[in-house]
Amino acid sequence: MKRPDLKRWLLRRADSPRQNLNLLLGGFTLFSAGAAVLLLAEYLIGDSWQRELLALGGLILAGAGSILAAVGYLCLSLLRLFRFFNDDRHHD
């Protein structure tokens, strides 16, 4: 991706706060599901390899949710600042 294309994509992304909020909420939901699976594995399943496998799955879900929520948060906050500083009206 060329530099102007990246800048254009970032500006378009900054102009879609609803999609960015959906990313944040989707990440939070995925993280919560992973945390619930971890709790399920810890307290409802006895010591076995299934417990460890379920805990690993919960950890993967929680990690993916954390990354997705972080991307959504960065898009909501930092890209709005990027939009403000790259707005052509401010440079006239």
Domain ranges across the chain = 20-91
Tens-digit pLDDT profile for residues 9-29: 888 888 888 998 999 999 999
Nearest to 62 by CA among 37, 31, 19: 31
CA pair distance 89, 41, nearest whole angstrom: 55
Identity of the residue numbered 31: F
83, pLDDT greater than 70:
yes
87, pLDDT greater than 50:
yes
pLDDT of residue 1: 58
Query: Residues of 35-72 as b/e, b for ≥16 C-beta within 10 angstroms?
Result: eebbeebeeeeeeeeeeeebbeebeebbeebeebbeeb
